[in-house]
């Protein structure tokens, strides 16, 4: 048997190593998904998706002549004094009015109704948020400045005393929804009285969006963060938000550029959270749910994968 020269052996070894490097390099450079926008003239959008699954308002017809209470299907109780409502011009309302109540208690509720738990500067965790609207006929009504309503939010565990009232605010220019801390209302724990359901009891001097919550501070230094998408994903068809598995917090990201998402608030470095994106392009769904640990000046590019409408709902059910 002839001996193979050492030089030939070395050449074969180098060729083998090179082949392996090429193989693994190809595996590492898998193309990212880039859905076809298609030519459908009337594709279903994310807005259609939210409209289908958003929590619907419940209607209650009550008389303003005497104090009354309403109870929502998710356990919210609202106690309303007599003669509580006025028109925008200050006219006292008598007779029957219609109260519309929307209750949001789960993380899925928050996502599908696009109600994030943030102020301009900070992230909140919520124990529940409600929307209260009052009308007589087509005319919207307002709470008399001398009146308050008491909102009882159900609690599954004994509530602490660190929660407080916050009111929803929509910026007239950007349309962005955030929360403002209440400076006058009071919050207290309401024990079981007639029924065994514990609750947070909030005295509110306003209607519209009202929540019971607290700030979600982390231990580390706060840092900015940027999430990017690519290809045909952009701010018109893709929503990106942050979910905090340790509490009830959902924070949507702003869209300052076509494919770059950020926020005015910051997140404590070291925080464990999930970056979630939902997209709908040419009526098809794409999503990603990725757990990360926030590091200083955090930047991430997301790669979404195609899914189904039921798949997106299942993901939200499991938050």
Same fold, 55-215 and 218-317: no
Cβ contact 274:292 at 8 Å? yes
CA-based torsion, 187, 153, 163, 177: positive or negative: negative
Cβ contact 309:49 at 8 Å? yes
- Secondary structure element (H or E) that encloses residue 182, with its range: none
**Could you give the CA distance from residue 180 to residue 25 in angstroms, rounded to a whole number?**
51
List all residues 6 or more positions away from 158 whose beta carbon is below 8 Å from its beta carbon.
Answer: 189, 198
Q: Please tell me the predicted confidence (pLDDT) of residue 183.
A: 62
Q: Please tell me the predicted confidence (pLDDT) of residue 1.
A: 47
Q: How far apart are the first and last CA of the chain?
A: 68
Cβ contact 305:278 at 8 Å? no
List the chain domain ranges. Answer: 55-215, 218-317
Q: What is the pTM assigned to this prediction?
A: 0.82
> What is the SS3 assignment for 299?
strand
User: What CA–CA distances, in Å, run from 191 to 73, 74, 149?
Assistant: 20, 18, 18
Q: Please tell me the predicted confidence (pLDDT) of residue 196.
A: 47
Q: Please tell me the predicted confidence (pLDDT) of residue 27.
A: 43
Q: Please tell me the predicted confidence (pLDDT) of residue 181.
A: 78
Q: Please tell me the predicted confidence (pLDDT) of residue 199.
A: 78
Question: Which residue is it, tokens 């231990």?
Answer: 219
Burial code (b: 16+ CB inside 10 Å, e: under 16) for 135-157 equals ebeeeebbbbeeebbbbbbbbee
Ramachandran angles phi, psi of 226, nearest 5°: -140, 130
**Could you give the CA distance from residue 169 to residue 246 in angstroms, rounded to a whole number?**
26
Which CATH fold would you assign to the domain 55-215?
Answer: Chondroitinase Ac; Chain A, domain 3 (2.60.220)
**Could you give the CA distance from residue 71 to residue 200 in angstroms, rounded to a whole number?**
14
- pLDDT tens for each residue of 139-195: 999 999 999 999 998 876 655 566 778 889 887 777 778 888 776 555 444 444 434
Which CATH fold would you assign to the domain 218-317?
Answer: Immunoglobulin-like (2.60.40)
Cβ contact 204:277 at 8 Å? no
Q: Kindly list the averaged pLDDT for each block of 10 residues, start to end, along the chain of length 319.
A: 52 51 45 72 90 97 97 95 96 96 94 89 87 96 93 74 79 80 55 54 87 76 90 92 85 83 86 94 95 93 95 95
- pLDDT tens for each residue of 218-235: 667 888 889 999 999 999
Q: Please tell me the predicted confidence (pLDDT) of residue 192.
A: 40
């Amino acid at each position: 048997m002839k001996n193979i020269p050492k030089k030939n052996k070395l050449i074969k070894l180098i060729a083998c190593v090179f082949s392996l490097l090429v193989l693994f390099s190809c595996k590492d450079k898998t193309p990212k998904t880039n859905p076809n926008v298609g030519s459908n003239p009337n594709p279903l959008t994310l807005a259609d998706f939210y409209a289908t699954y958003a929590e619907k308002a419940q209607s209650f017809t009550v008389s303003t002549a005497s104090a009354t209470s309403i109870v929502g299907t998710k356990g919210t109780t609202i106690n309303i004094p007599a003669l509580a409502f006025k028109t925008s011009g200050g006219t006292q309302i008598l007779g029957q009015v219609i109260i519309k109540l929307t209750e949001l208690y789960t993380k899925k509720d928050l996502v599908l109704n696009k109600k994030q738990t943030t102020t301009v500067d900070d992230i909140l965790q919520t124990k529940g948020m409600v929307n209260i609207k009052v009308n007589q006929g087509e005319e919207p009504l307002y709470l008399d400045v001398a009146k308050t309503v008491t909102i009882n939010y159900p609690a599954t565990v004994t509530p602490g005393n660190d929660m407080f009232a916050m009111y929803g605010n929509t910026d007239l220019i950007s349309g962005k929804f955030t929360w403002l801390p209440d400076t006058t209302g009071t919050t207290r724990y309401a024990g079981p009285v007639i029924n065994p359901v514990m609750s947070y009891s909030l005295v509110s001097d306003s209607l519209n969006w009202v929540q019971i919550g607290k700030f979600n501070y982390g231990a580390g230094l706060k840092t900015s963060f940027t999430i990017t998408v690519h290809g045909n994903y952009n701010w018109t068809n893709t929503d990106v938000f942050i979910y905090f598995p340790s509490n009830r917090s959902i924070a949507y990201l702003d869209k300052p550029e076509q494919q770059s998402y950020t926020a005015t608030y910051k997140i404590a470095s070291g925080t464990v959270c999930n970056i979630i994106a939902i997209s709908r392009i040419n009526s098809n769904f794409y999503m990603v749910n990725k757990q990360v640990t926030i590091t200083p000046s955090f930047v991430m590019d997301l790669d979404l994968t195609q899914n189904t409408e039921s798949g997106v709902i299942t993901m939200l059910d499991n938050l």
